[in-house]
């Protein structure tokens, strides 16, 4: 009986490793409920996500909310305003690369401002692990914030990927940051559809990013 239990436990670990490696997920800062060693335990009532790299939806359906998980970690990673985060990703299938956006919210995802955008070449040729530098604005206000990553893949099912990390920013006491709201595409009916673009001469929906709405996020001084 003990022998069978050991085999079952080993199989579950192997299965967990395989599910994490499918597609792509944010691994640093720790995405909510990431199974990697060193990431915080999920908050009460939530579970580790062994399928953290899975998409949140397609052009036809919404399978998970933006961020994939909506309940924040109780433990946050601290960064200074102006600091560049070396974001990292676990890559199982990069689907030819695609478009990535990184955004920041101070109201748990109600309002976002984009920090960085990569068109076409994000994750292109990536395998195993991948890193992208993303800078927090130098004038970013202090406070608890949500750091979001979005990815529209170039090849395969028309999908949207999203993970969020819970961070705390050490910056100015109050203030505003300005930018554009993120483009949410390939995420159910009513959102723009970006088709496959494996070749350089194919339409890639990049014109949609130029139409993102201007946004200002203001945080009150304490």
Whole-angstrom CA distances from 99 to 30, 72, 140, 160 are: 21, 25, 25, 10
Per-residue pLDDT tens digits for 84-136:
999 999 999 899 999 999 999 999 999 999 999 999 999 998 888 899 999 99
Residue that is written with structure tokens 């993970």 in the block: 163
Q: pTM of the full predicted structure? A: 0.90
Q: Which two tokens stand for residue 221?
A: 């001084």
**pLDDT for 181 beyond 50:** yes
197 backbone dihedrals φ, ψ, rounded to 5°:
-145, 65
To the nearest whole number, what is the mean pLDDT of the chain? 91
CB 145 within 8 Å of CB 163: no
196 or 18, higher pLDDT: 196
Per-residue pLDDT tens digits for 41-93:
999 999 999 999 999 999 999 999 999 999 999 999 999 999 999 999 999 98
Whole-angstrom CA distances from 57 to 27, 65, 184, 189 are: 20, 8, 11, 10
Question: What are the residue boundaries of the structural domains of the chain, listed by start?
Answer: 17-219
Domain 17-219 in CATH 2.70.50.70? The answer is yes
CA dihedral 92, 184, 101, 34 (to 10 degrees): -50
Listed range (19-23, 37-41, 128-132, 197-201) with the worst mean pLDDT? 19-23
Q: What is the DSSP letter of 109?
A: T
For residue 13, how far is the Cα from the chain centroid? 24
Q: Which two tokens stand for residue 120?
A: 């076409």
């Amino acid at each position: 009986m003990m022998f069978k239990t050991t085999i079952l436990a080993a199989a579950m670990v192997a299965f967990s490793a395989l599910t994490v490696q499918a597609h792509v997920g944010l691994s640093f800062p720790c995405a909510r409920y990431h199974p990697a060693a060193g990431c915080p335990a999920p908050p009460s009532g939530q579970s580790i996500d062994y399928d953290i790299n899975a998409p949140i939806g397609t052009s036809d359906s919404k399978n998970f909310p933006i961020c994939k998980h909506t309940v924040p970690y109780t433990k946050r990673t601290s960064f200074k305003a102006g600091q560049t985060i070396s974001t990292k990703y676990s890559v199982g299938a990069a689907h030819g690369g695609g478009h990535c956006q990184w955004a920041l919210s101070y109201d748990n995802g109600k309002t976002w401002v984009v920090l960085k955008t990569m068109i076409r070449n994000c994750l292109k040729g990536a395998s195993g692990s991948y890193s992208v530098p993303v800078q927090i604005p130098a004038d970013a206000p202090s406070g608890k914030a949500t750091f979001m990553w979005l990815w529209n893949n170039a090849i395969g099912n028309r999908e949207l990927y999203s993970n969020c990390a819970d961070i705390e920013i050490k910056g100015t006491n109050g203030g505003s940051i300005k930018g554009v709201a993120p483009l949410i595409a390939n995420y159910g009916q009513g959102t723009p559809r970006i088709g496959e673009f494996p070749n350089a001469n194919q339409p890639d929906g990049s014109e949609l990013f130029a139409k993102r709405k201007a946004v200002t996020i203001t945080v009150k001084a304490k």
